[in-house]
Amino acid sequence: MTTLAEAQALDARAIIQTYARKPVLFVRGDGMRLYDDTGAEYLDFVSGIGAVNLGHAHLAVTAALVAQAAKLTHVSNLFYVEHRAELAEEVEALLEGDDWRMFFANSGTEAVEGAVKLARRWAGTHRPGAYKVVTLERSFHGRTLAALAATGQPSKQEAFAPMPEGFVHVPANDIPALLAAVDDTVAAVMVEIVQGEGGVWPLTAEYVSAVREICDKQDALFIADEVQTGFFRTGPAFAHQAFDVVPDVITVAKALGNGLPIGGILARGSAADALQPGDHGSTFGGGPAICAAARATLSAMVAEKLDDNAQASGAYLSDQLAQLAESTGAIVDVRGPGLMVGLTLREPIAADVASAALGRGIILNNIGTNILRFLPPLVCGKTEIDTLIAVLSTILDEASASHG
Does 403 score more than 70 pLDDT?
no
The Cα–Cα gap between 325 and 346 comes to: 10
Say how many C-beta atoms besides its own lie within 10 A of residue 80's C-beta.
Answer: 9
Q: Are the beta carbons of 255 and 53 closer than 8 angstroms?
A: yes
Domain carrying residue 161:
60-303
Do 130 and 274 reside in the same domain of the chain? Answer: yes
Average pLDDT over residues 108-128: 97
Q: Name the DSSP letter for residue 210.
A: H
Does 402 score more than 80 pLDDT?
no
Phi, psi angles (nearest 5°) of residue 300: -70, -40
pLDDT grade, residue 404 (50/70/90)?
Answer: low
Q: In what order do the strands lie in the sheet with 101-105?
A: 101-105, 263-267, 249-252, 221-225, 186-191, 132-136, 167-170
- Identify the CA nearest to 271 among candidates 217, 232, 224: 224
What percent of the chain has pLDDT above 70? 100
Q: Name the DSSP letter for residue 240.
A: G
Reported as a single tens digit per residue, the pLDDT across 285-327 is: 999 999 999 999 999 999 999 999 999 999 999 999 999 999 9
Out of 45, 104, 248, 254, the active site residue is 254
Residue that terminates a domain, selected from 259, 274, 303: 303
Do 141 and 284 reside in the same domain of the chain? Answer: yes
Residue that terminates a domain, selected from 284, 303, 322: 303
Q: CB pairs under 8 A, 24+ apart, for 176-179? A: 178/134, 178/207, 178/210, 178/211, 178/214, 179/210, 179/214
Residue 336 sits in a domain whose CATH number is: 3.90.1150.10
Phi, psi angles (nearest 5°) of residue 213: -65, -40
The Cα–Cα gap between 153 and 168 comes to: 12
Residue 66 sits in a domain whose CATH number is: 3.40.640.10
The Cα–Cα gap between 365 and 342 comes to: 10
Does 69 score more than 70 pLDDT?
yes
Q: Name the DSSP letter for residue 342.
A: E
Do 203 and 138 reside in the same domain of the chain? Answer: yes
Do 342 and 398 reside in the same domain of the chain? Answer: yes
pLDDT computed for residue 401 by the predictor: 74
Structural domain count, the chain = 2
pLDDT computed for residue 98 by the predictor: 84
pLDDT computed for residue 399 by the predictor: 83
pLDDT grade, residue 21 (50/70/90)?
Answer: very high
Out of 225, 231, 238, 248, the active site residue is 225
Task: Find the angle CA(403)-CA(346)-CA(193) to the nearest 5 degrees.
Answer: 155
The Cα–Cα gap between 81 and 73 comes to: 10
Active site residue 254: yes
Helix (H, G, I), strand (E, B) or coil at 241: helix
Q: Are the beta carbons of 374 and 364 closer than 8 angstroms?
A: yes
pLDDT computed for residue 135 by the predictor: 98
The Cα–Cα gap between 221 and 133 comes to: 9
What percent of the chain has pLDDT above 90? 97
Annotate 140-204 with DSSP letters as a single string. ---SSHHHHHHSS-HHHHGGGPSPPS-EEEE-TT-HHHHHHH--TTEEEEEE-SEETTTT-EEPP
Burial of 17 (0-12, 13-18, 19+ CB in 10 A): exposed
Reported as a single tens digit per residue, the pLDDT across 140-153 is: 999 999 999 999 99
Q: Are the beta carbons of 373 and 47 closer than 8 angstroms?
A: no
Does 227 score more than 70 pLDDT?
yes
Do 284 and 251 reside in the same domain of the chain? Answer: yes
pLDDT computed for residue 180 by the predictor: 98
pLDDT grade, residue 60 (50/70/90)?
Answer: very high
The Cα–Cα gap between 103 and 109 comes to: 14
Reported as a single tens digit per residue, the pLDDT across 146-205 is: 999 999 999 999 999 999 999 999 999 999 999 999 999 999 999 999 999 999 999 999
Do 196 and 316 reside in the same domain of the chain? Answer: no
Average pLDDT over residues 35-55: 98
Active site residue 374: no
Do 232 and 90 reside in the same domain of the chain? Answer: yes
Do 210 and 223 reside in the same domain of the chain? Answer: yes
Do 76 and 39 reside in the same domain of the chain? Answer: no
Helix (H, G, I), strand (E, B) or coil at 8: helix
Reported as a single tens digit per residue, the pLDDT across 352-373 is: 999 999 999 999 999 999 999 9
Out of 45, 103, 104, 140, the active site residue is 140
Find how far residue 168's CA is from the centre of its chain: 22
Residues β-bridged to residue 224? 191, 250
pLDDT grade, residue 111 (50/70/90)?
Answer: very high
pLDDT grade, residue 1 (50/70/90)?
Answer: confident
Residue that terminates a domain, selected from 269, 303, 337: 303
Do 283 and 156 reside in the same domain of the chain? Answer: yes
Burial of 393 (0-12, 13-18, 19+ CB in 10 A): middle
pLDDT computed for residue 206 by the predictor: 98
Please give the mean pLDDT across all residues of the chain.
97
Do 333 and 249 reside in the same domain of the chain? Answer: no
pLDDT computed for residue 270 by the predictor: 97
Do 64 and 99 reside in the same domain of the chain? Answer: yes
Residues β-bridged to residue 112? none
Residue 18's identity, in one-letter code, is T
Helix (H, G, I), strand (E, B) or coil at 334: strand
Q: Are the beta carbons of 167 and 133 closer than 8 angstroms?
A: yes
Burial of 57 (0-12, 13-18, 19+ CB in 10 A): middle
Active site residue 71: no
Reported as a single tens digit per residue, the pLDDT across 242-288 is: 998 999 999 999 999 999 999 999 999 999 999 999 999 999 999 99
pLDDT grade, residue 97 (50/70/90)?
Answer: confident
